[in-house]
């Protein structure tokens, strides 16, 4: 008998529902599929007997409360997961279950074996000897990111409802859209949510705990060329494509995603559309350190300024938009939420793996709205594609950690 009877059945039900978000859309949520699933979750939470179950209008998040069962005043803890899946086929997801994996065999995903999980390619598989793995059938992603988080939070709440002897303060839960397209948390309503501290249950493998993220900006470069006949171009033509290449060449050679790791930041050119007349480039700028992040933006603008002054006119136009900041700056003021999460993991025999995310989490934005929100593991491996998988045992541990966090906060004055 599984410790959390509904955890895996719920998870398997949730992943089969297509909730892919839509990066082209400006509506909230970005797809009707997401709205539908959020409404299903709202019904579910209502049937579970949670209080104040509602959809927050501005964000489309579904909020709910499990009232505390302690007399004293303790912090209200929130747990947050996103319900959308990444930009990869999510139609007709057919999860496959591999029981008692031996830790070294190649797992066939599709019938023909065109796609496999091979420990030579994915050494992470070796950690899972003796465990039950849930994989894709090779044609879709799995959506453990972040339906694992959704199922784990629901399992924790169900457990607390069945075990009133476990003491906890008020617990808030939130399920929201559009994390994968980077907009879901933009409208998060901290006041309506009503937590003192929160955790996104959206990390990867067992033990993941993140409270540092990148500082992030998106940058557009628009270049105006002068297109004339190549035969008569001398001294007249300004080839906007060439100017774009010169601009890129002026950035530091090694500060690129494919050449950096850990705390090294970068400029990433992700789009380059050009004609002689007109060229546009899209970049993201990333750095964990705020000063270096600001310096990167200055350098980026400085290159454009230098080129414009060499041209004697404004041909290179740069627009930079900050996207989110490193939540570590907020957490450092009071590291209690991270200490509690570390303690919670240790209490259930999980070794915390604390590392700076090379990206952002919903917590990067929510923390800056005044609600400190580190990220804990949900269990997924190889997220965002057909090689995604998750272990049942890790998912159970994630529920253990959520429960343990709730308990530890109930012991606080
Ligand atoms: Zn996620």
Active site residues: 84, 179
CA of 246 to the centre of ligand 1 (A): 36
CA of 202 to the centre of ligand 1 (A): 5
pLDDT score for 2: 78
Query: Residue ranges of the alpha helices (H) in 16-143?
Result: 32-47
Residue ranges for the chain with pLDDT beneath 50:
none
CA of 227 to the centre of ligand 1 (A): 45
CA of 25 to the centre of ligand 1 (A): 19
DSSP secondary structure, 223-281, as one string? EE-B---GGG-TTT-B-HHHHHHHHHHTS-TT-SGGG--TT--EEEEEEEEE-SSEEEE
CA of 393 to the centre of ligand 1 (A): 19
DSSP secondary structure, 319-388, as one string? EEEEEE--THHHHTT--HHHHHHHHHHHHTT---EE---SS--HHHHHHHTT----EEE---BSTTSTT-
Strands 77-82 and 62-66: unpaired
Residues 57 and 78: their CA atoms lie apart, in Å, by 19
pTM score: 0.93
CA of 131 to the centre of ligand 1 (A): 23
pLDDT score for 413: 60
- N- to C-terminal Cα separation, the chain: 36
Other CB atoms within a 10 A radius of the CB of residue 378 amount to 28
CA of 146 to the centre of ligand 1 (A): 5
pLDDT score for 6: 96
CB 184 within 8 A of CB 84: yes
């Amino acid at each position: 008998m599984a410790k959390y009877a509904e955890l895996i059945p719920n998870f398997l039900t949730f992943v089969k529902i297509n909730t892919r978000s839509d990066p082209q859309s400006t509506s909230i949520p970005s797809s009707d599929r997401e709205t539908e699933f959020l409404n299903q979750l709202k019904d579910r939470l209502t049937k579970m007997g949670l209080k104040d179950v509602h959809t927050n209008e501005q964000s489309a998040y579904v909020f709910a409360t499990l009232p505390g069962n302690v007399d004293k005043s303790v912090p209200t803890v929130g747990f947050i997961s996103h319900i959308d899946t990444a930009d990869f086929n999510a139609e007709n997801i057919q999860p496959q279950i591999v029981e008692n994996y031996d830790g070294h065999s190649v797992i066939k995903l599709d019938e023909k074996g065109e796609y496999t999980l091979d420990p030579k390619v994915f050494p992470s598989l070796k950690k899972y000897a003796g465990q039950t793995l849930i994989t894709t059938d090779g044609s879709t992603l799995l959506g453990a990111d972040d339906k694992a988080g959704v199922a784990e939070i629901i399992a924790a709440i169900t457990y607390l409802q069945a075990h009133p002897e476990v003491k906890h303060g008020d617990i808030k839960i939130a399920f929201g859209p559009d994390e994968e397209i980077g907009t879901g948390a933009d409208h998060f309503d901290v006041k309506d949510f009503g937590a003192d501290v929160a955790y996104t249950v959206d990390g990867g493998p067992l033990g993941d705990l993140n409270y540092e993220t990148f500082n992030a900006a998106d940058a557009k470069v628009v270049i105006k060329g002068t297109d004339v006949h190549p035969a008569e171009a001398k001294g007249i033509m300004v080839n906007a494509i060439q100017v774009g290449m010169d601009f890129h060449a002026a950035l530091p050679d090694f500060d690129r995603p494919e050449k950096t790791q850990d705390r090294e930041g970068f400029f990433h050119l992700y789009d380059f559309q050009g004609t002689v007349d007109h060229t546009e480039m899209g970049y993201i700028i990333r750095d964990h350190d705020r000063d270096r992040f600001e310096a990167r933006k200055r350098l980026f603008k400085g290159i454009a300024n230098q080129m414009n002054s060499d041209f004697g006119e404004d041909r290179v136009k740069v627009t930079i938009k900050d996207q989110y900041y490193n939540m570590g700056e907020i957490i450092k003021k009071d590291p209690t939420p991270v200490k509690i999460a570390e303690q919670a993991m240790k209490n259930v025999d999980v070794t915390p793996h604390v590392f700076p995310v090379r990206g952002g989490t919903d917590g990067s934005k929510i923390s800056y709205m005044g609600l400190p929100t580190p990220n804990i593991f949900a269990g997924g491996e190889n997220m965002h594609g057909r090689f995604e998988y998750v272990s049942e045992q890790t998912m159970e541990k994630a529920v253990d950690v959520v429960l343990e966090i709730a308990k530890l906060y109930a012991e606080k004055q």
